[in-house]
Amino acid sequence: MTRAVRSHGFTLTELAVVFFIVALLMATAMFTLSAQNDQRNFEETRRRLEAARDLVLAFAVANGRLPCTGTASGDENPVGGGACASPWGGFLPARTIGFQITDTNGFGLDAWQNRIRYAVSSNAVALVNCAGSSTQPHFTNATNLRTNGITCQPGDLVICNRSPAAVAATTCDGGTAVTNQNTVVAIVFSTGKNGATGGTGVNEARNLDNNQLFVSRTPDPSTAAGGEFDDQMLWITAGELYSKLIAAGRLP
């Protein structure tokens, strides 16, 4: 006599365990893919910032001055340079310098599709160490830059590694300076992945407050003391700008 073989299916407990394992594997895979995508965007944004920085210097060599920031579009404002409309709170003048990755208004974009920011030394703050004349604007006016000469240094843009304790401060707290006020003539930066919302950290906020002080530091999570920070920043020094202009025959 043949005994019938009874087939057994999975119990509810066994199915629950299987579903949990599958869900865990899928979540892990999605997290890994997201992290890889973020890293690719970070690296691509770095490349775009480097390209933008190179184009700003190339523009300076061709025109004998730095471009002004873009405000209403990817064109410098005012066109032709001079006293910039928003020197510390503007955008990369992508159309003016020939940066190719732009939105419909001509603003340069990072890998997260956020507009690349740009700041340039302002005529609102006096130059320092000029041997002769010091007519402003200096860095965004070819005639003034040549007449004033290469001893002139900026007196405004400064980069710290964290926001000063005083909200409206224009100098770094002790021990936090990355550069000083007499070094940087232009800054190119990305507001990072959270750029669409502006971020929530106090350090990121200093880069968007239309002030001469900026913050550059390694990335921080949202749980950090100063809040989230994922901005990426490059800058041009006065010495580098002058050396490029001298080599191109634009100065002295």
User: pLDDT tens across 38-75, in order?
Assistant: 899 999 999 999 999 999 999 999 999 999 999 999 99
List, for residues 179-200, the tens digit of each pLDDT value. 999 999 999 999 999 987 766 6
161 pLDDT more than 80: yes
Find out whether 143 and 197 touch, Cβ atoms under 8 Å.
no
Task: Give the pLDDT confidence score for residue 9 in this predicted structure.
Answer: 64
- Give me the DSSP letters along 228-243: -B--EEEEEEHHHHHH
Task: Give the pLDDT confidence score for residue 4 in this predicted structure.
Answer: 54
Q: Exposed, middle or buried, 100 (CB in 10 Å: 0-12/13-18/19+)?
A: exposed
Mean pLDDT of 27-37: 72
What is the domain partition of the chain in residue ranges? 12-247
127 pLDDT more than 80: yes
Find out whether 184 and 236 touch, Cβ atoms under 8 Å.
yes
Q: Which residue has the tokens 């002030």?
A: 211
Mean pLDDT of 3-20: 68
Joined together, the tokens standing for residue 141 give 């006016």
Find out whether 112 and 41 touch, Cβ atoms under 8 Å.
yes
Of 64, 111, 112, 72, residue with least CA distance to 93: 72
228 pLDDT more than 80: yes
Give the 3-state secondary structure of residue 119: strand
2 pLDDT more than 60: no
d(CA 189, CA 202): 17
Task: Give the pLDDT confidence score for residue 219 in this predicted structure.
Answer: 93
CB atoms within 10 A of CB 115: 21
Q: Which amino acid is at 12?
A: L
Find out whether 123 and 197 touch, Cβ atoms under 8 Å.
no
| More confidently predicted of 141 and 20 | 141
Task: Give the pLDDT confidence score for residue 168 in this predicted structure.
Answer: 86
Task: Give the pLDDT confidence score for residue 99 in this predicted structure.
Answer: 98
